Structures are given as structure tokens and as C-alpha cells.
Amino acid sequence: MSTPTTAKPENPERSFPKPEFTDAEAGALEFPSSTSRSYSYFTPEKLRATMYEDVTLDVQPDPERHLFQGWIYGFRDGPGGYPKEWTALKSSDWHQFRDPNGEWEQTIFRNNANVVRQVQQNLANAQLAKAYDSWTPTWTKFVERNLGAWMHAEHGLGLHVFTAVQRSGPTNMINTAVAVNAAHKLRFAQDLALYNLDLSEVVDGFNGDIHREVWQSDPVWQGVRENVELLTAAGDWAEAVFATNVVYEQLVGVLFRSQLVMQIAARNGDYVTPSLVGSGENDYSRDLSYTRALFTMLVRDEEHGSANKAKLSEWLSIWVPRSIKAAQDLQPIWSQPLERVMPFAESFEAAKDGLRSLLLKDLEIDVPKELN
């Protein structure tokens, strides 16, 4: 006799987890272009976003704007992401900053390639035209010693100031501008080094090795060297940028490049050096543009503007005396060329005028007593 079997249902129910649909926090929020087919998380500076804004702004996520779970990465012994505590200055919204130059990856390569191409063409044409034959021994000595020494200052700032802090800013927009600043300095230092090699080959009596000795031991350059080395030791990224681009560059950089070399080179039969040094001045003009925009934003911040001004004034009291000393130590080189356009006092006053104007008109900060 067979044992009866229990019949199984034809379609048994199977157990599956049931999905629960919820609004993702970022996707549920309203953004400037939420209803637009051209979607972005930011408000453009103008009616439409520029290529610079599209490829730079918000490339670096920020918990205050996108990452509601906090930073997804961090440092081993420190805070995560891009800490705002890396500078004493504060902003209600660091993402307001825009680089007036609109620098991003493509422009870095394009602009610097154009400068290098132009410099190389100028140097090649100078050799063909035998433009160096009119140089006097006095001017040759001036260039080999002083322009060669300046190469060390540019390289030190590019590598140990701007490259060192280009990761420290709280937004990608700021860091990109500082990285471009580093590229400018390093390229200009390289241009000076290549120029030194060219002159060593084509100018009779040109000593292409003396610049190292001048930078390390000549008393005239020790103030500049000390100033540069102290800048490399600045721990606050904003202080490093401010002390370099606002104070040092105005009182020392512009003084040497613009108020000395570019003023007297042609009078001494040299039409090549000004074209090279002029590229460095153009670099600084662009770098000063983003620096002015950044610190103007900070001193006009509704919540933190007053505190930021106080901190910048504190930094001025530290760095202005150092840069003034560096500039004054350079005074003897004004008497080295046979042909001079203006005395050191007039050149230095012009440099100080530039800094005073920047502080009063743009940053609205009281001028330190050392500049009066």
C-alpha cells in the first residue's frame, strides 16, 4: 500500500527584499539650474558659465555643498579633505572666488608655450643679429652677476612657496590659481637659466657660473636671499601668498625687474634682456590679478572682513620690514652699469607707491609706517 504525498503549490511565494525608494539628499535639493537641461551645482558669475567655471568649480566636492556624509577621505594624522584651518583668514563662502585670468589646464599649457616660443625666437634672432656685440664689459658683468642671482629667487619662490601651498587652499578655484603661479615662477627661472647658458657661449668673457657665488655670499643679495628663504617657511598658505605677491613682489620683484633691469638695459646696448624680463613681469601682472581678487573678497566679507583686515595688517608688520631691508641691500647694483636712468631712491619710491596703492585702493588696509 503506497504512502500518500502532500501536494505542492504550483507557484510558491519566494521571499525577496523589498526596495524602498527615498529621495537622495543631493538629488532632492534645488540648485541654480535644477530645471534647466544644462545642469550645474553652482551659480555662474555671469549669465552663462564659462569653460573655466565648468571645468574648475566644484571639481573638488565640499561637504558644505555636496557631501552630506562628510569628507570621504582624509589625512593620516589630520582632518579630512581641504581643511579651512590651514589659514588664519576666514570666509563666509570660499567658493565665491573666481580667477580673473580664467586659468585652467588648457590655458596653463597654451600661455606658457606661447611665452617660451617667443623667448626662444628672440634669443635665436639676437644671436643671428649679433646683438650681444655691443655689450660693454660693465654690462656683461652686471647681467652675469645680478640677473643670474635673480634666477635663484624666482626658482625658490616657485618651488618652495607656490608649489608647496597649491594644495592647501579650501577650494579648487584657489588652488588652481596658485598652481599656475608656481608654473609661472618655475618657467621664468628656467628661461633665465637657459639665457645664462646662451650668454656663456656667445658673449666673450661671460662667466656663467658666478651667479651661484653671488647668491650665496655677495652682501648685496643676502637680504633678498633671506627674504625668500623666510617666505618658504611660512606655514599659513594665505600668508605665504600675501607676503610674496603683495609685499615681496611689489617692494623687491618689481623694483629689480621693472624699475632697474627694464629701465637701463636698452641704455647699455641690450635689447634682448628686457624681452625676457618682461615676460616675468607679465607673469606677475597675471598673478597679482588673482591675488587682488582673493584678498579683496576676504577683506570685504560681511562676517569676517574686519578680522581678516586685522590679520593682514599683522602680516604686513612682519613682512614689510623684511622686504624693505632686502630692497635697500640691493642699492649698490644701481651704480654698476655705466648708463643709468634713475637713482635708487626714485626707483624704490615708485615700488613703494605700487604697494601703497594696492593696500589703500583694493584691500582698504592702512599703510604701514615703514612705507610712509
Average confidence (pLDDT) over 129-139: 90
Question: Of 89, 229, 261, which Cα lies nearest the Cα of 161?
Answer: 229
17: left (phi over 0), alpha (psi -120 to 50) or beta: beta
**Tell me, what amino acid is at 35?**
T
C-alpha span between 211 and 223 (Å, rounded)? 16
In the block, cell 582673493 appears at 294
Query: DSSP labels for 293-307?
Result: HHHHHHHT-TTTHHH
The DSSP secondary-structure symbol of 2 reads P
Q: Which residue has the cell 637659466?
A: 193
Residues 295-316: pLDDT tens digits? 999 999 999 999 999 999 999 9
Q: What is the mean pLDDT of the chain?
A: 89
- Grid coordinates representing 89 are 583668514
Q: Quote the CA–CA distance of 41 and 119 in Å, as a whole number.
A: 41
- Residue for grid cell 569676517: 304
pLDDT at 24 (0 to 100): 56
Residue 26 has pLDDT above 60, yes or no: no
**Phi/psi at 141 (5° precision):** -65, -40
Euclidean distance between the first and the last CA atom of the chain, given in angstroms as a whole number: 120
Of 197, 171, 168, the residue nearest 182 (C-alpha): 168
Residues 212, 73: Cα–Cα separation, whole Å:
43
Three cell numbers written together for 11: 507557484
- Residue with the bigger pLDDT between 340 and 328: it is 328
Q: What pLDDT does 19 receive?
A: 65
**Percentage of the residues of the chain whose pLDDT score is greater than 90:** 69
Angle, vertex CA 250, rays to CA 304 and CA 142, nearest 5: 160
The rounded distance, in Å, linking the Cα atoms of 235 and 264 is 37
Cα separation of 245 and 363, whole Å?
Answer: 13
Point out which residues pair with 74 in neighbouring strands: 80
pLDDT for residue 48: 79
Mean predicted confidence (pLDDT) in 133-151: 94
Q: What is the mean pLDDT of residues 182-199?
A: 96
